[in-house]
Structure 1
Amino acid sequence: MGKTTKNTIVFLFLPFIFFSQVKEKENLYYNWFDQVIGQEHTGLYNGKQYVNLDVNRIYKGKHSFFLTDKVVTGSILYDGQIYYDVDMKYNLETDNLLIALKPGAVASILQLIRDKVDRFTIEDYTFIRIDGFKENNTLVNGFHQVLLKNTAYSLLKRHQKIRRKKIGNVGDNKLYFEFVSKNTYVLFADGYYKRIKSKGDVIKMYPTLKKAINQFYIKNKTLKNSNSDRFMQRLFETIIKQSSPLKAT
């Protein structure tokens, strides 16, 4: 069922919605609609069946998914329509969002069309889709986690996992796979995206703050090693704040 039909049905119940806090309770009404109509009949279920070919071949639990290889509850803005309380998981190797066809279903998983996913939230983590930007003649695109956002810039994180082959223990010649994280940070400011690989990249974008940036790295070395996300958030919250960088090259 399309977005227009869904909105028309919800409109019929406006006497009940009008006197409520629509913003706070919006997800309750959409959840009610999906329960009555059935989520499998909404625009969300527009993708292809997903088959996990790596079942029983994951080495020591090092799977390819974000947070967990089990489905977790989240929300999705898909093809212009918001959906709440959706069972999903995010594959970091293929950069694809997967949803359970029915609540609690394990064997029936759908892979959404990536270009139709504008943003999604898993627990307290929010991701947006970047359609593409060039860096060293390489096109960078896909989903990025939003770490910070204000009027001057957006600090993003690109989560990825790389597949590696492993052979079982002694007496086990079976081929296994482990997935290793390879994450990078991206800054969006002044209409440009720029990958942050090192302290030098930050200084290059904010040369007038070089001294403060160097001091921050020295004082927060332990935090950088233990929690790089929080380190980057604090760097931009306390040192860079609302500063506007030079145009990225």
Structure 2
Amino acid sequence: MIKNYFSFSLFIILLFSPVFLMGQEQPELLKWFDNQIGTENTRLLNGTAYSDRHRTINEKNKLFGSATGKGSVLYDGQWFPDLQMRYNVFDDVLVVQLESGLGLNIIQLVKEKVERFNLNGTPFINIIPQNNAGVTGFHEVLWEDNNFKVLKKHALRLNEKRDREISYFEFEPIEGHYAFTYGDRNYILGSRNDLETIFPQYRSEIQNHYRSDRSILRSRPETFYTNLFRELSGLEDELRKMPQR
């Protein structure tokens, strides 16, 4: 269950209940609470305590970049900069660390309220399930402009390990999928034929790109798809400039 203001609201109520229930000092208590956590970050406490069910003992964990990093998040319509964050790729959740007078608070944000975030310079966007052909959750934004977004879904494989009497887990990167946004729809990047079906007006350009950059598709798919959609975006812009009949 989502806990507004996290568990500290309950802590405050219990600690100051005689005064709080009278209502005379409520503004002062809220001011005190904001000072403890930082007024600008109070809304982030509208989440749940983060608990990891998988024990790891090395860098092969479930985190993007294998560690907590510096970032910002667009959460519930507001940007929160300069945060300590971690993106749990395996469970597809975003976690923030907030320091306060009460100690270190590790909070799993409400996923539906996360619109975008940036972690160590890498941008991500959250695709909310809604007729998106399997494109849901946090995706890295490889490239975007007014016409397209090129996206990458990261994925991990879970392996259980045992060392004498100790059981732990390791996570290894596996191929997720690539996707793109066009208009208000999101598509999995599948075969060349799929793209030609979506963009029949650019069939010859798509075919030429696949023929000329086939080796790049195998070795550097991020580059291949970014270059392809840069080209398609230019064609879109030219098409809009043409006089309408």
Give TM-score, length-normalised by structure 1: 0.68
Superposition pairs for residues 83-94 of structure 1, below 5 Å?
A: 83-94=80-91
User: Which deviates more, 210-219 or 224-233?
Assistant: 210-219
Tell me if 1:74 matches 2:97. no
Q: Deviations over 1:59-90 (max 9, x none)?
A: xx432222x22110011111222111100011
Q: For 1:129-148, list aligned pairs within 5 A.
A: 129-134=126-131, 140-148=135-143
User: CA 1:53 to 1:186, structure 2 compared with 1: closer, same or farther past 3 Å?
Assistant: same
Q: Contact (CA 8 Å) 1:79, 1:118: kept in 2 or not?
A: yes
Which secondary structure does the structure 1 equivalent of 2:236 belong to? Answer: coil
Matches within 5 A, 1:1-249: 38-39=37-38, 42-56=42-56, 61-66=59-64, 68-102=65-99, 108-134=105-131, 140-163=135-158, 165-168=159-162, 174=167, 176-239=169-232, 241-243=234-236
8 Å CA contact retained: 2:55, 2:169: no
Identity %: 25
Equivalent residue letter for 1:188: T
Alpha-carbon shift at residue 149 of structure 1 (Å): 2.5
Distance 2:170 2:196 in 1: 38
CA contact (8 A) 1:151 1:242 kept: no
Larger of the two Rg values belongs to structure = 2
Secondary structure of the corresponding residue to residue 102 of structure 1: strand
1:174 offset after TM fit, Å? 4.1
- Aligned to 1:231, what secondary structure does the other structure show? helix
- Structure 2 alignment gaps of length 5 or more: 6-33, 238-245
Change (3 A) 1:206 1:240: farther
What is the aligned-residue RMSD (CA, Å)? 3.2
For 1:123 and 1:143, the matched residues in 2 are separated by: 15
What letter is aligned with 2:149? Answer: S
Q: Deviation at 1:49?
A: 1.6
User: Which residue does 1:15 correspond to in 2?
Assistant: none
TM-score (norm 2): 0.69
Query: Are residues 240 and 43 of structure 1, via their aligned partners in 2, closer, same or farther at CA, if it must alter by over 3 Å?
Result: closer
- Return the offset for 1:125: 1.8
Aligned pairs, how many?
203
